[in-house]
């Protein structure tokens, strides 16, 4: 490969999925700071993109590599939603829409959560845990890759947290291992970036985001949640 009860908005995709997923790629949108009044993002969004196995993951990776070649981009080019042009975004989404994957998205509405007394210094860990809890019944012995951009020590702590919190001794193993890799070296992490970014923009009513979500991601959604509503 290249490089407390919660209320949920209805996911656009069918939730009756019997196939287990064996590979997952995780990215986030927003920052973990809770002080929105001082400039922190309104939402912290975690997206998990999962594949049934290495064949499906490789097919998606190969399709992205071929797309780079076909449009004259270098093999090292990173598809990053916030940095790509509108044309590049739509072309990338067209390419990955042919691949077989599912998405699981959880967003923390930080301003509303603070008003309810929610307070944690582990926003990233907590939100990631919720994302995986919603994907639990669809994951089995999965290999998970997390974007290594940013603070490496923080990422190491997150991987340890996931192993400890998601795998339960009394149940089948959900996560086999967690790896950290820079997104520019892994095209499937770039898919996760697009899912996280489009989801965050759709939840904050940014122009065109809901159209992109419905057109390219809706049928793949295993879960799509925000708390509090």
User: Is 98 a domain residue?
Assistant: yes
User: Is 168 a domain residue?
Assistant: yes
Question: Tokens standing for 118?
Answer: 């929610």
User: Is 2 a domain residue?
Assistant: no
**How confident is residue 57, by pLDDT bands cut at 50, 70 and 90?**
very high
- Listed in sequence order, the residues at least 6 apart from 77 whose beta carbon sits closer than 8 Å to its beta carbon are 68
User: Is 7 a domain residue?
Assistant: no
Which candidate, 146, 133, 121, places its Cα nearest to that of 40?
121
Q: What's the CA gap between 68 and 78, in Å, rounded?
A: 10
Minimum mean pLDDT range among 8-22, 32-46, 115-129: 8-22
CATH of the domain at 112: 3.30.420.10
User: Is 1 a domain residue?
Assistant: no
pTM over 0.95: no
User: Is 50 a domain residue?
Assistant: yes
User: Is 119 a domain residue?
Assistant: yes
Integer CA distances (angstroms), 135 to 106, 110, 119, 132, 173, in order: 10, 22, 24, 5, 13
Q: Which domain holds residue 132?
A: 21-227
Please give the tally of structural domains in the chain. Answer: 1
Residue with token string 């959880």: 106
């Amino acid at each position: 490969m290249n490089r407390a009860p919660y209320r949920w908005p209805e996911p656009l995709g069918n939730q009756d999925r019997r196939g287990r997923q064996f590979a997952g790629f995780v990215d986030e949108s927003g920052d973990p700071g809770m002080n929105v009044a001082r400039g922190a993002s309104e939402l912290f969004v975690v997206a998990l993109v999962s594949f049934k196995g290495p064949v499906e993951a490789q097919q998606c990776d190969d399709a992205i590599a071929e797309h780079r070649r076909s449009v004259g981009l270098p093999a090292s080019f990173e598809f990053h939603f916030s940095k790509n042009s509108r044309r590049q975004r739509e072309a990338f989404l067209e390419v990955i829409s042919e691949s077989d994957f599912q998405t699981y998205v959880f967003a923390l509405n930080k301003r509303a959560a603070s008003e309810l007394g929610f307070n944690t210094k582990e926003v990233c860990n907590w939100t990631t845990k919720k994302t995986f809890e919603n994907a639990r019944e669809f994951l089995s012995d999965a290999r998970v890759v997390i974007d290594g951009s940013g603070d490496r020590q923080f990422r190491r702590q997150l991987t340890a947290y996931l192993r400890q919190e998601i795998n339960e001794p009394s149940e089948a193993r959900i996560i086999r291992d967690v790896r950290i890799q820079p997104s520019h070296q892994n095209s499937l992490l770039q898919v996760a970036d697009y899912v996280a970014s489009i989801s965050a923009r759709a939840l904050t009513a940014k122009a065109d985001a809901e159209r992109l979500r419905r057109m390219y991601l809706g049928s793949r959604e295993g879960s799509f949640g925000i708390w509090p509503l």
